[in-house]
Amino acid sequence: MTAISAVKAALAAQAIETPSWAYGNSGTRFKVFAQPGVPRSPQEKLEDAAQVHRHTGVAPTVALHIPWDRTDDYAALARFAEDHGVRLGAINANVFQEDDYRLGSVCNPDPAVRRKALDHLLECVDIMDATGSRDLKLWFADGTNYPGQDDIRARQDRLAEALEAVRARLGEDQRMLLEYKFFEPAFYTTDVPDWGTAYAHCLRLGPQAQVVVDTGHHAPGTNIEFIVALLLREGKLGGFDFNSRFYADDDLMVGAADPFQLFRIMYEVVAGGGYGPQVAFMLDQCHNIEPKIPAIIRSVMNVQEATAKALLVDREALAKAQADGDVLGSNAVLMDAFNTDVRPLLAEVREEMGLDADPVAAYHRSGWGERIAESRRGGRQAGWGA
């Protein structure tokens, strides 16, 4: 196989998971702008996700968020997905939206609240059993707002206890992915604020616990690709929640704010041997003002473009320049790949997959947007900004 055909094969085999919540109405705490045709049920979200997969060919799974996607028969929902050409992906737990969680969920000082939160996490594993999902994604809003409000170490103990109970409930082929976020909604301490805290917990929990890197969850200037390289080296990178940020947790389209950063991240994934099913590529975004389905298609394409550039890095030339201590030469090898226009290559990949070279145009031509605007009235909010 020539190098370029290997690159094409790797691109055709990529799998980028889209989040059910990206298809629903969303906004900020100031305003949620409703859009026409927005899904009214988990099934309609899956129908929209199926359109993304139909036109890109690389978005075969959809992440669920419980309870936003609550239904009485998850196995039936999984069959519905398959009938539409997609599968159910990660199950995202939600222990942050109820009054009981004012002082936290699994870190709450009240054992009854901790029990309630843990029960929800365990229920999510039941759902995974029914849907055939591999990954449980855990993001905790837990933290404190004022110095002295609660005992920082005791909260870590409570967290560890809950995580261990979840681990013990996992099936052999299931994983728990622990997400971190440096602040918000808690402003003084956050119980899982950074990759190091997530890593320390995952290390104790063993191989089924892995860290998930949400690209929007870092302080400005953080070198995310370094974190990626390190976690991969330690066998602890479980996946990504991709999105873009300018200021805080903006949840904009991945690759929109800083395509170079996305390329650097994807390069570390490829170079570190993480380009395979063991590292889940997931989107975690909200489309507040732009039309959702084309925005998600664009996001998938942005990830593909960064991946193509990462795969095109001349690794041999780079290794040689690095070994020679050639600072400018090594940097030039990386920049050559980043500055390559990979759109024609991806168009070819799509045509070879039997797809339209331009997924956004194909989507617009399909008339799906007009059809759902006509047939769906009273679309539901994604869960945010209520």
Q: Which residues bind Mn ion (CB under 5 A)?
A: 214, 241, 249, 284
The DSSP annotation for 79-113 comes to HHHHHTT-EEEEEEE--SSSGGGGG-STT-SSHHH
Nearer to ligand PSV, 251 or 356 (CB): 251
Q: Which residues contact 258 (CB under 8 A, 6 or more apart)?
A: 244
Among 17, 69, 135, 179, binds ligand PSV (CB under 6 A): 179
* Nearest position to Mn ion, beta carbon: 241
**In sequence order, what E strands does the chain have?**
16-19, 61-66, 87-93, 135-138, 143-144, 175-179, 189-190, 209-214, 237-242, 280-283
Q: Which residues contact 31 (CB under 8 A, 6 or more apart)?
A: 385
135 touches ligand PSV (CB under 6 A): no
Tokens of 216: 């929007």
Q: Is the bond into 67 cis (omega within 30 degrees of 0)?
A: yes
CA distance 131 to 81: 10
- Say if CB 283 and CB 241 are below 8 A apart: yes
Nearer to Mn ion, 100 or 249 (CB): 249
What is the contact mask toward ligand PSV in residues 284 to 303, using x (rule: CB under 6 A)?
x-------------------
92 touches ligand PSV (CB under 6 A): yes
Nearer to Mn ion, 217 or 264 (CB): 217
17 touches ligand PSV (CB under 6 A): no
Shortest Cβ 219–ligand PSV spacing (Å): 14
* Nearest position to ligand PSV, beta carbon: 139
Nearer to Mn ion, 27 or 109 (CB): 27
Shortest Cβ 265–Mn ion spacing (Å): 15
Of the candidates 81, 83, 43, which has an alpha carbon nearest to the alpha carbon of residue 61?
Answer: 81
Nearer to ligand PSV, 179 or 356 (CB): 179
Shortest Cβ 141–ligand PSV spacing (Å): 7
- Say if CB 213 and CB 226 are below 8 A apart: no
Shortest Cβ 336–Mn ion spacing (Å): 32
Nearer to Mn ion, 19 or 294 (CB): 19
What is the contact mask toward ligand PSV in residues 233 to 272, using x (rule: CB under 6 A)?
--------x-------x-----------------------
- Say if CB 52 and CB 20 are below 8 A apart: no
Shortest Cβ 174–ligand PSV spacing (Å): 18
Among 135, 142, 214, 305, binds ligand PSV (CB under 6 A): 214
CA distance 106 to 160: 9
- Dihedral sign for Cα atoms in the order 144, 25, 291, 344: positive
| Phi, psi dihedrals of residue 167, rounded to the nearest 5° | -55, -45
Among 87, 158, 181, 309, binds ligand PSV (CB under 6 A): 181
What residues line the site for ligand PSV (CB under 6 A)?
Answer: 92, 139, 179, 181, 214, 241, 249, 284
